[in-house]
Amino acid sequence: GENVEQHPSTLSVQEGDSAVIKCTYSDSASNYFPWYKQELGKRPQLIIDIRSNVGEKKDQRIAVTLNKTAKHFSLHITETQPEDSAVYFCAASSFFDMRFGAGTRLTVKP
Amino acid sequence: ETGVTQTPRHLVMGMTNKKSLKCEQHLGHNAMYWYKQSAKKPLELMFVYNFKEQTENNSVPSRFSPECPNSSHLFLHLHTLQPEDSALYLCASSQGPAGNGGEQYFGPGTRLTVT
């Protein structure tokens, strides 16, 4: 089955700096790659996603890149703010199956 | 409010108890999911239902029994659980498979503790 590796497990940045989280997947059938943000005690919420026919997608301070050949995708957050502090999960999906990475705890220091 | 609700929000049960978790979605979606979220482990997909039919069962022990009476409701029946089953159980729904545009919306979860 699908195996999704996510790095780093923890990330601490200064407010205003950029943060990058990387994921790799193993199933070449995966065609949808969402990123979720989960604040403490709350439900995971989708922040951005990318499909296999697209190499890059941007939404304000957040961007995601996908390299299908290498089977890896990344989340980029620019101009980080303290409210960006949370756990971020990547996922890879094929049809209904969705496999998640272990998560990255991002801390943005003011 | 994302339109996916779960009850109860917290549950403590003994290993010999039988209990049920309930999920309801008000988004008009046709697919519903159960996930298990344990500390320091990835979210694990347990079951998927599409139009009330089970499409995925990722080797989940039989002490977890799902039920989907219609596209808006999903249950997880629990019996003779083990302490290692203590976790946050999340329900999600989507309009079709993720790969075809079906973004998954999560409920708030049920925090389960097995004593």
Using a CB-CB cut-off of 8 Å, the residues of chain B touching A101 are 42
Has residue B84 got a pLDDT over 60?
yes
Q: What pLDDT is recorded for position B39?
A: 86
Q: What pLDDT is recorded for position A1?
A: 59
Has residue B109 got a pLDDT over 80?
yes
Beta-ladder partners of B33: B48, B92
CB–CB contact A98 B42 (8 Å) = no
At A4-60, the pLDDT tens digits run 999 999 999 999 999 999 999 999 999 999 999 999 989 999 999 999 888 999 999
Mean pLDDT, rounded, of chain B: 91
Q: What pLDDT is recorded for position A95?
A: 86
What is the rounded radius of gyration, in angstroms, for the C-alpha atoms of chain B? 13
Nearest CA in chain B to A40: B108
Q: Which of A63, A65, A90 is nearest to A78 (CA)?
A: A63
What residues contact A42, with CB distance under 8 A and at least 6 apart?
B108
Q: How far is A3 from A56, CA to CA, in rounded Å? A: 22
Q: Which of A32, A37, A42 is nearest to A21 (CA)?
A: A37
Q: What pLDDT is recorded for position B11?
A: 97
Q: Answer yes or no: are the C-beta atoms of A12 and A32 closer than 8 Å.
A: no
* pLDDT-wise least confident of A10-19, B24-33, B99-108: B99-108
Q: Which of B60, B56, B57, B112 is nearest to B86 (CA)?
A: B112
How large is the average pLDDT for residues B66-93?
95
Of B2, B42, B105, the CB nearest to A102: B42
- Interface check for A4 against chain B (CB to CB < 8 A): the answer is yes
